[in-house]
Amino acid sequence: MKPSKAKTVFDVQAIRRDFPILGRQVHGKPLVYLDNAATTQKPRAVIDALVHYYEHQNANIHRAIHTLGEEATAAYEETRAKVSQFINASRPESIVFTRSATEALNLIAYAWGRANVKKGDEIVLTQMEHHSNMVPWQRLAQEVGATIKYIGVSDEGTLDLDGLDDIITEKTKLVSVTQVSNAFGTINVLDKIIAAAHRRGALAVVDGAQSVPHMPVDVQAIDCDFLAFSAHKMLGPTGVGVLYARYELLEEMEPFQSGGEMISRVRLEGASWNDVPWKFEAGTPNIADVIAFGAALDYLSALGMDNVRAHEQELTAYALRRLRQLEDIIIYGPQDTSRRGGVASFNYPDIHAHDVGTILDREGVAIRAGHHCAQPLMRRFDMAGTARASFYIYNTLEEVDALIEGVEKARAFFSHASG
């Protein structure tokens, strides 16, 4: 089946030329990289920004008065401003750099949660959360004697919001929810959940790891109190996460880690803290990768996040259409692409997802197979995991065809083996 002509407003082939890794082969086949929900590939501009820092600006930041230190500091803080603009935060000081989205969520649990969640309080999560947005809250609840309640998931893979006012109550201190499911691609409608949390006086945390890289995200419009995401899922380097928080919350919170940079003054009797956001960035930060993240933000901003979303929606619609033509396949998540991100999660009833992934790898097609750090969601659907293809700006309709051909080969191989 030949794919229809792409409607994307940007030139995908020109974009592909910006990514050196896309020119390589795997097992003698052209690389088809469809594991973007795990991490994305890096354009030359990001790689060059990383090299440029080490070749021309390598110095510690915020402390030196020499030229290299001042240049590095300016570049680092410029990325903070770019992040703020990218998600429409009210001010750059609302942005804290961490090592990952996971660390950002843990920071909230430790620095805000341990000061505000007490015995008898309630925390509300959903059954589709990534472990990073579940385990920190479970640990907090166990330590302080709080209770965790869960918003359920429908058979379609969407949140069941019936009875939301019975789940979010006067005892609720915090509601934490993913904006886009990493396992099924479900786009959650946050306004009803966040409004219900705020009516009860609770704060709202949004896991944006799978949304910020793929669609326009406006924290002021969403009205969330916290947002966490990571650079490596949006063309940036690994080792950089982002915590957005309302500035007044950051002012009230105690530091997550202690040491250099996060202090204002240290005496033998004690210490006072630096201003927000630096009081949450103890020690020498990941300077080079933060600066290179700025180049990734420039790249995505030039494309336009509405265009990024439109391209992924086109790829996802085509992938779902092709997958539905395959016999016996099970597809998870909403069928309406306006309600799902660039993820196609599927299974054969009698073939393990890892086996499908292994056959695909031999064809040069990289997908993810497993529980996707969402074991409670997998148990909800009575399975160990799924095969997951996830798309990004450099993927093409022809690569979707390669995915389908590989899945068909997996079906044929295991049918023959069992016969």
Catalytic positions are 373
Q: Could you tell me how many residues make up the chain?
A: 419
**Distance (Å, rounded) from C-alpha 407 to C-alpha 361?**
11
Q: CA nearest 129: which of 159, 171, 154?
A: 159
CA-to-CA dists, residue 264 to 94, 269, 284, 351, 399, angstroms: 19, 14, 15, 59, 53
**Distance (Å, rounded) from C-alpha 215 to C-alpha 234?**
11
CA-to-CA dists, residue 196 to 200, 204, 245, angstroms: 7, 10, 19
Answer whether 343's CB lies under 8 Å from 184's CB. Answer: yes
Answer whether 20's CB lies under 8 Å from 44's CB. Answer: yes
**Cβ contacts of 110 within 8 Å, gap of 6 or more:** 136, 256
CA dihedral angle for residue 351, residue 357, residue 360, residue 364, rounded to 10 degrees: -170
